[in-house]
Amino acid sequence: MGLSLPLNLGARSYPIHFGDDLTASVAAQVAALAAEGRRVAIVTDANVAAAQAAALRAMFGDAPVLTVAAGEGSKSLETLGRVLDFLSEKKLGRSDALFASGGGVIGDLAGFAAASYLRGIAYYQVPTTLLAMVDSSVGGKTGINLKAGKNLVGAFHQPRGVFISTNLLATLPPREFAAGCAEIIKAGLLGNAELFVRLERAALTVASPDFALRILDCCALKASVVEADEFETAKDGGRALLNLGHTFGHAIEQATGYGAYLHGEAVAIGLCAAVRLSQKLGLIGVGDVARVESVVTAHALPVRLRTPLPLTVLMAAMARDKKVRAGRLRFVVLKSLGEAVTRDDVAPALAEACFREVGAA
């Protein structure tokens, strides 16, 4: 099995398993469920089904598989309906389980279907992208997008286990790998200064000698945050800190129709906007902004919009963000490179200025 990290949430606790190849571990989990008389089904996407066909067969045998289109467009009401119909057609019961094998889109979609179907069934995460391994597969946030904004419909529904098998990254396109690095940079900035310095010294690659440890660093950080504030109810800080860069990033995704930028690319630009906001609030220096942009660039990620977007459209998208409370947006800003705080007293003009500096028109 390799290394396991517990996420401690009382009755909802579960292990996060790490290894080079966890095919046999996933197959053993499927077999254990079968021995208890529990059936399983799998949701994946077209890219994973094509690139990891042998691994899927080895992990899941002849269990029923639903393959949906790859990309953010599958986080929709229409595709959610397809997943729910699939579970019903395969006659899964309340004691059965769903496996999500894919990136963040598949984890969010399948997790929400598991939370909704029969008022909740068990599910397991088998992430196949770096972004999902270091962020979205851990913590139990599930959901889909609406036309009005990202992740506006969803549920907190913790998985029963997460299997992080790094060999599944062998077929990941370079652009997708870079997108995952955005969440690793985010983790360093919000709560692990040593991680950020490591990324500053050398850009992370699959061949990096400490690659697996960096994934573990991110999962450990997220686990600690989730354990302290599972349902994101803390008045200040808490789980909301994990949204560093996302208030700006989600607005970019929504304004471009969830197609022009990968999630990690939008988050990378959002991180650059967030550090600029932190500097304008007097929390960090101009040199810190340059350091962050240098690390983002070194990981083949954008620091500015590829083409200008209307500022009015971006601000309108930001106003619909799910983090709005009592009509006020909560921003995550940096007290230092490695320590984040939430602020709900940011003047809109400051956010507008930051958007302009990363390419809004």
Domain boundaries, the chain: 3-171, 174-357
Whole-Å CA distances, 260 to 74, 179, 255? 15, 13, 10
At 44, is the secondary structure helix, strand, or coil? strand
- Average pLDDT of the residues of the chain: 96
Is residue 326's pLDDT more than 80? no
Distance CA 31, CA 25 (A): 10
pLDDT single digits (tens) 17-71 = 999 999 999 999 999 999 999 999 999 999 999 999 999 999 999 999 999 999 9
Strands 339-343 and 331-336: antiparallel
**Tens digit of each residue's pLDDT (9 = 90 or more) over 207-260:** 999 999 999 999 999 999 999 999 999 999 999 999 999 999 999 999 999 989
CATH code: domain 3-171 is: 3.40.50.1970
Which pLDDT value is given to residue 328? 83
Does pLDDT of 164 surpass 70? yes
Helix (H, G, I), strand (E, B) or coil at 68: strand
Q: What pLDDT shows up at residue 274?
A: 98
The pLDDT score that the predictor gives to residue 322 is 73
Residue 316 structure tokens: 């309108």
pLDDT score at 323: 72
pLDDT score for 321? 82
Place of tokens 């106003």: 319
Categorize the per-residue pLDDT at 325 as very low, low, confident or very high, splitting at 50, 70 and 90. confident
- Report which of 99, 80, 338 is spatially closest to residue 198, judged by C-alpha positions: 338
CB 248 within 8 A of CB 298: no
Per-residue model confidence as pLDDT tens digits over 165-224: 999 999 999 999 999 999 999 999 999 999 999 999 999 999 999 999 999 999 999 999
* C-alpha–C-alpha distance, residues 287 and 277, integer Å: 14
Question: In the block, which residue shows the tokens 């009509």?
Answer: 327
Q: Three-state SS for 30?
A: helix
Does pLDDT of 349 surpass 60? yes
pLDDT tens for each residue of 129-149: 999 999 999 999 999 999 989
d(CA 279, CA 331): 13
Residue 1 has pLDDT above 70, yes or no: no
Summarised one tens digit per residue, pLDDT across range 281-299 is 999 999 999 999 999 999 9
Kindly state the DSSP code that residue 325 receives in the 8-state scheme.
B
Please state, in angstroms and rounded to a whole number, the distance separating the CA atoms of residues 123 and 24. Answer: 18
- Full DSSP string of 128-169: -SHHIIIIITSS-EEEEEETTEEEEEEEE---SEEEEEGGGG
CATH topology of domain 174-357: Dehydroquinate synthase-like, alpha domain (1.20.1090)
